[in-house]
Structure 1
Amino acid sequence: MTDRRLPLLAQLRRRMPLVRLGTDPAESGTSLRRSLGVWQLTMISVGATLGTGIFVVLGTAVPLAGPAVWIAFAVAGLAALLSALSYAEMAGSVPVSGSSYSYAYATMGEGVAWVCGWCLVLEYGVSVAAVAVGAGQYVNEALAVFGLGLPPALANPIGVADGLINLPAAALVLLAMLLLVRGAKDSAWANTIMVFVKLAVLLVFVVIAFSAFSLGNFEPLAPMGVAGIAAASSRLFFSYIGFDAASTAGDEATNPRRDLPRAIILSMVIVTAVYILVAIAAIGARPWTEFADDESAFVGILTEITGQPIVALFFSIGAVIAIASVVLTVYYGQTRILYRMAQDGMVPRVFSRVGRRSGTPVAGTVIVGAVVAVVAALIPLGELADATSIGTLFAFALVNLSVILLRRLRPDLDRSYSVPLFPVVPALGIVMCLGLMVSLGCTTWIVFLIWMLVGAALYLGYGRRHSTVGALSDAEYAEAIAAEDPSRR
């Protein structure tokens, strides 16, 4: 238990000493099993990123940028890469589960770390529920082709089209839970298979679209000018959220210092290339003026070219697999973040208990799955889902700041990867994230502030009293800080 005489402000400023990261002095039997190589880690990030966005966002971005939408994808990818490079350096320097929460704890102290961790709970937890709801809709559309569509009462949450419970969404979450309980390696291979399936679906679209390709569709290239490309880039930036998923696997990577940076950067390259290729194929196959904010652009283009309505079924199945991969990988990330926070005493210890057979946090996985399944089944997420964007951007900004601070705190630290053009790249990453946060709506900010107030209450009620760093005496803490930097001894 934390020494109650430690002032709140002093505890909020206490950093997690690097020598204590990855250890849990209070409880044994909480080590995750290292079984993930660079390929599985890359697929985790690709699986979390390449999902619902590409299936719906293209049609809504084309009216903003015109044929230059592929340039907008490249610009958005470059903006996301700024933060991805910072994640790569921090993942190689602080190779533990917890992602930006752990990075903030090691550089900015317990207070900022808690805020960041609470943002990640919002980002990952609500994202799983929101994505599962979208998958549920695609599942029902696919069943409807065979005349097996569920009635509205079983396909929609309360308050939506006579709905009572979204069974497909809840079922998808529970299936992901069963897979994750089996072990990280099994779930990673399942995710890899799903990633290849959705890449194959997109490749089929590209091949068919190029059969009707016309260069004339790219004239004029940018009818809305630079302003249109910028507007589309801001919207498309959120299609890249998810690349950080590999950083939540630090305790299960076989060689985290080497493989985590590689996986994060490689996933960004793969996703950006796919996005640009798909955008070029789509514009080449259909004049940009005919997109008209169409969220089902893929199906429309394929139907026009092939004349076969069966493609709607094909893409519904592909979308379900794509979204299932997102659910699995984001759900995985949520459990590993809570695992790390539990080891630090910030949330109950049950989230860090690891099963002997599976080597995974079984109890935490089941608890998260039960909560998310209920949310996905019963609650229309609405503006709450939009709040995940602001939480994500805030976490990204903190990671960029962590790179700058850790360079100052530990210039001698052995880094397996270093951000190029330091400090320009992380500084630009901070500016980009803050700029996008400011552009979000008022309702999103209100939901975010309410979430932060709830988090502050939970920290004061539990985390402050159970923090492992807060429990250290001044002498113990000073010794731990000195141990992480030999020059201070």
Structure 2
Amino acid sequence: MENTRLERSLTLAPLVLFGISFMALGTVFSTYGIAAQLTQGMVPVAYILALVAMLFTALSYGKMAGAFPIAGSAYTYAQKAISPSVGFMVGWSILVDYLFIPMVNYLIFASFLHAALPSVPEYVWILLMIVLVTFINIRGIKLAANVNTLINACALLFIVTFCVLSIRHIATNQSIFHLFSITPFFQQGTTGFTAIMAGASLLCFSFLGFDSVTTFAEEVKNPEKLLPRAVMIVTLVGGLVFIVVSYLAQLVYPDYTSFADPDSAAFVIIQYVGGDLLASFFIVMIATGTFGSAMVSHASVGRLLYSMGRDGVLPKKLFAYLHPNWKTPIFNLLLVSAISLSALFMTLGTAASLINFGAFLAFSCVNISVITHFFVRKKERTGWALFRNLLFPIIGTMMDLYLLVNLDSYSLILGIIWFCIGFVYLLVLTKGFKRKPPQMEIDAA
């Protein structure tokens, strides 16, 4: 099994689609009502600010992915650019995010399907989804890529349909020129910068997933070239979709104060624009979107565990094993599925609270990795490199740390507890830092 490696079969298009699936474009609808009330009807502005914030970190991910095209993402970058111990703590911190993101998707999927078919218990949908996702990911990256293409096509079709119907509604009931209104972007004397920044902080969570493409580094053809492109494309496409959809939603339904339940605000707008047929299509889109996000996040955490196992920071025989025929980390994928079974008794709120702490910590460390690797170690400091290797990563780090410290207290407490558990494990692994954590040589990749 020593010669079994991940198979390089992914090109740019399926890689981008994996990132978009992880991000789940449908989140623009699920967060719209809360964001509209936070920003007092200026959701597009908040999305623009969130996109700018995430672009700085996306640039850093692209730089590091080109330098170290190895499965492991932020874990690998921090390990190689800062120190093995920091790399371990980054990998450990983001591991809880990756482990619980599939579970969140299973819970959302089950709640929607149970609402549509009350006679079928939620646990049936959870078990069915876990089995399907596990089977697809174990059978190989090509099958996962094909299924993912169909899922993204469904989401894109719904978003295009919503936009077309919204434009028709505006042109019919108001004027075609109303499509060029500045109201969603500027309302003098109504919205303060603090409110918009609060909305931007919330909506940054919509972008989580652009980094997931880097976990497939060893399954990409020409990773040094394609990975940086994929990271930027996923971030920009997601941002563009979020801005356009929220802009049209605001024009179609400007009275954000009338929503009885902010969580269902988007459903109200969708029914208002397209009736029950579009509302039914929305449920299908959410169901397929959560399936796609679960599939990609499940595959991503399998690769992260594989990278940590291959390095020896986790038991190598279990975590570094690849199936000889399918070239997938089968034991890791089965372990993630077993952990996901806790969705049978865990609430969505609890699972969601375990996410995001590790993501923003990892984002900060990736920005710092760019500075230490390119600016300090390689001395790339002149011209444009000064911006790419120092100023932009500093801005990205500051923004990510701001988002980290502004997480809700429950998320911070759980995140810190998980971090401390990892730190104790690191102490044991290094015998009190008397030796370095195991790490992989670059050539071994």
TM-score normalised by length of structure 1: 0.82
* 2:47 match: secondary structure: helix
| 1:239 aligned partner | 206
Q: Deviations over 1:48-73 (max 9, x none)?
A: 11245223111110112234211111
Q: Report how far residue 211 of structure 1 moved.
A: 1.6
Q: Deviations over 1:122-178 (max 9, x none)?
A: 11101111121011111112324xxxx32xxx32xxxxxxxxxx3312321221110
Select between 280-289 and 378-387 the one with higher mean Cα deviation.
Answer: 378-387
* 2:42 match: secondary structure: helix
Choose the corresponding residue for 2:221, options 233, 251, 254: 254
State percent identity of aligned pairs. Answer: 26
> Contact between 1:62 and 1:69, CA under 8 Å: does it hold in 2?
yes
**Please, which runs of 5 or more residues in structure 1 have no aligned partner?**
1-26, 156-165, 484-489
Equivalent AA in structure 1 for residue 406 of structure 2: S
Q: Which has the larger radius of gyration?
A: 1
Distance 1:368 1:36 in 2: 23
| 1:212 aligned partner | 169
Distance 2:229 2:273 in 1: 39
| 2:196 aligned partner | 229
1:425-440 map, 5 Å:
425-440=392-407
Q: Report how far residue 464 of structure 1 moved.
A: 6.3
Q: Does 1:98 align with 2:65?
A: no
| 1:323 aligned partner | 290
| 1:378 aligned partner | 345
> Contact between 2:33 and 2:256, CA under 8 Å: does it hold in 1?
no
Distance 2:436 2:429 in 1: 14
| 1:300 aligned partner | 268
Q: Report how far residue 324 of structure 1 moved.
A: 0.8
Q: Report how far residue 450 of structure 1 moved.
A: 1.2
* 1:95 match: secondary structure: coil
Choose the corresponding residue for 2:324, options 356, 360, 370: 356
* 2:354 match: secondary structure: helix
> Contact between 1:174 and 1:370, CA under 8 Å: does it hold in 2?
no
1:58-457 map, 5 Å:
58-144=32-118, 149-150=119-120, 154-155=121-122, 166-213=123-170, 214=174, 215=178, 219=183, 221-222=186-187, 223-290=190-257, 292=259, 294-306=262-274, 308-349=275-316, 350-372=318-340, 374-408=341-375, 410-411=377-378, 420-457=387-424
Counterparts in 2 of 1:347 and 1:52: CA distance versus 1, 3 Å: farther
> Contact between 1:61 and 1:236, CA under 8 Å: does it hold in 2?
yes
RMSD of the TM alignment (CA)? Answer: 2.7
Select between 52-61 and 252-261 the one with higher mean Cα deviation.
Answer: 52-61
Counterparts in 2 of 1:52 and 1:170: CA distance versus 1, 3 Å: farther
Q: Report how far residue 380 of structure 1 moved.
A: 1.9
Distance 2:31 2:86 in 1: 33
> Contact between 1:76 and 1:233, CA under 8 Å: does it hold in 2?
yes
Counterparts in 2 of 1:75 and 1:471: CA distance versus 1, 3 Å: closer
Counterparts in 2 of 1:91 and 1:285: CA distance versus 1, 3 Å: same
> Contact between 2:28 and 2:246, CA under 8 Å: does it hold in 1?
no
Distance 1:338 1:464 in 2: 22
| 1:13 aligned partner | none
**Please, which runs of 5 or more residues in structure 2 have no aligned partner?**
none
Q: Deviations over 1:173-215 (max 9, x none)?
A: 2211100011011101211221121111111111111122253
> Contact between 1:100 and 1:396, CA under 8 Å: does it hold in 2?
yes
> Contact between 2:10 and 2:219, CA under 8 Å: does it hold in 1?
yes
> Contact between 1:56 and 1:296, CA under 8 Å: does it hold in 2?
yes
| 2:426 aligned partner | 459
TM-score normalised by length of structure 2: 0.89
Q: Deviations over 1:318-364 (max 9, x none)?
A: 10011111101111110000000000001122121111111111122
